[in-house]
Amino acid sequence: MEGTNKKSRLAMPEQEPKVRARNFEEVPLGYTPEMAIAEAGRCLQCKNPLCVQGCPVGVDIPGFIKHIADGKFDLAIGKIWERNSLPAVCGRVCPQEIQCEGNCILGRKGEAVAIGNLERFAADWERAHHVCELPSREKATGKKVAVVGSGPSGLTVAGDLILKGHEVTIFEAFHKPGGVLVYGIPEFRLPKDIVASEVSCLQAQGVKIECDVVVGRTETVDELFELGFDAVYLGVGAGLPRFMNIPGENLVGVLSANEYLTRANLMKAYLFPKVDTPIPQGRHVVVLGAGNVAMDSARTAMRLGAEKVSIVYRRSRAEMPARSAEIHHAEEEGLNFELLSNPVRYLGDEKGRLTGIECVRMELGEPDSSGRRRPVTVPGSEFVIECDLAIVAIGSGANPLLTRSTPDLPLGKSGYILANPETGKTGKKAVWAGGDIVTGAATVILAMGAGRKAADSIHEYLTWGW
């Protein structure tokens, strides 16, 4: 195919920045079969593939790419499903540059194989054609596992254990399954019908999902055992929003990113008034923070019709934690960056509505314990950013709702659950945990990796005893 060579990868077609910045359609459009075959042809089929080592769930990457190169797309998705039950999600949201693609040998002299794009292609092709058989289940064991939380780690545990012959029920507090995949990551990065499709694939294999059950309130962990479950996996995520604790934070117009994104994504408030949940629409929107959640919030605000959207971040561009591709997309869509700026208070009018944020300029000092250069306030540098909506995206902590109702579950600092990093075992008998509730806010694929390890450990426990 024209434009392809061994050194550079085949770029995925995308919506034009000016167009996409105002709609909620997915930004990358996906490979055609011809493009996928061409890109798959670049893979060297290494005997000792480093890319697989970079994948937290160990997908046989050269294996599935070979099938795509041969045009056998149904075999490709089957190969991926052996290790990953959410490929349409992972192909879209994994930070491949620091995982599989970061290890690809081709990346040393040119560009790595576009593994994420190919995984996404295989999953999308299967969703459109439905030809591949679901993986086969082992003989029923009669053992019952409760999975608390239907985010990426919970779905992975459920997918693994159902294939091993156990009965699996997922309990979800929200009215829809998917966790951060449905409430956090926006439609334009991860269409919600794709999440629904991957979840229904698990249900087709026999996984039961009960929504509207808040474990910690509707049922406690101990009550799950009374209901006859033999093991419990806790994958409840890190859903506690952090605020800056500066004056004016409760003004109307200051929202956590969790609230803003939940309204927009889970409640589909971008369709208001066709749906009933409203969302504040600012003219000048300021997003505090510079991680992926901040980029998602800012790009959502742009799509909701803001005239100007600014990212306010206390460090410099080099320290921004968001994926470079997301920052690049945000820039193309016209976002404004106020770097080396730190908010000190919110300003409001007599109706309690936000009118601006007072910030100070920062400069970078010596590296801190995280290895990043510590921002230091420049005295006398106060300035005001006028705005009518502020979204706080400075991270999240451990929600104590479940852990407070489980007093014998050992917790670490900041309320995260203590679990063995290799097995996911907690200090409470027959209870495992993984994902953000153990590690703090991390990535989808790391949560899935934790789920995989826990599922192996739960299976051993159910088979052989502890």
Binding site residues, another protein, CB under 8 A: 173-175, 211-214, 217-219, 239-241, 243, 245, 249-250, 252-253, 255-256, 258-259, 262-263, 267-268, 272-278, 280, 351-353, 399-401
State in angstroms the smallest separation of the CB of 273 from another protein.
Answer: 5
Angle of helix 444-464 relative to helix 152-163, nearest 10 degrees, comes to 40
CB of 445 closer than 8 Å to CB of 90: yes
Q: Which is nearer to another protein, 52 or 215 (CB)?
A: 215
Q: Which is nearer to another protein, 259 or 332 (CB)?
A: 259
State in angstroms the smallest separation of the CB of 114 from another protein.
Answer: 35
Q: Which is nearer to another protein, 62 or 280 (CB)?
A: 280
State in angstroms the smallest separation of the CB of 261 from another protein.
Answer: 9
Q: Which is nearer to another protein, 116 or 186 (CB)?
A: 186
Q: Which is nearer to another protein, 280 or 375 (CB)?
A: 280
What is the C-alpha to C-alpha distance for residues 86 and 444, in angstroms, rounded to an integer? Answer: 10
State in angstroms the smallest separation of the CB of 136 from another protein.
Answer: 33
CB of 193 closer than 8 Å to CB of 285: no
Instruction: Report the relative pairing of strands 383-386 and 354-367 from DSSP bridges.
Output: antiparallel
State in angstroms the smallest separation of the CB of 414 from another protein.
Answer: 15
DSSP 96: G
DSSP string computed for 339-363: -SEEEEEEEE-TTSBEEEEEEEEEE
> Which positions ≥6 away from 286 have C-beta within 8 Å?
309, 310, 312, 338, 357, 385, 387, 389, 390, 391
State in angstroms the smallest separation of the CB of 432 from another protein.
Answer: 22
Q: Which is nearer to another protein, 242 or 374 (CB)?
A: 242
State in angstroms the smallest separation of the CB of 278 from another protein.
Answer: 4
Q: Which is nearer to another protein, 75 or 401 (CB)?
A: 401
Instruction: Report the alpha-carbon angle 128-132-135, nearest 5.
Output: 130
State in angstroms the smallest separation of the CB of 272 from another protein.
Answer: 7
417 - beta bridge partners? 411
> Which positions ≥6 away from 330 have C-beta within 8 Å?
295, 298, 299, 311, 322
Q: Which is nearer to another protein, 14 or 249 (CB)?
A: 249
Distance between start and end Cα atoms, the chain: 55
Return the number of other C-beta atoms located less than 10 Å from residue 131's C-beta: 11
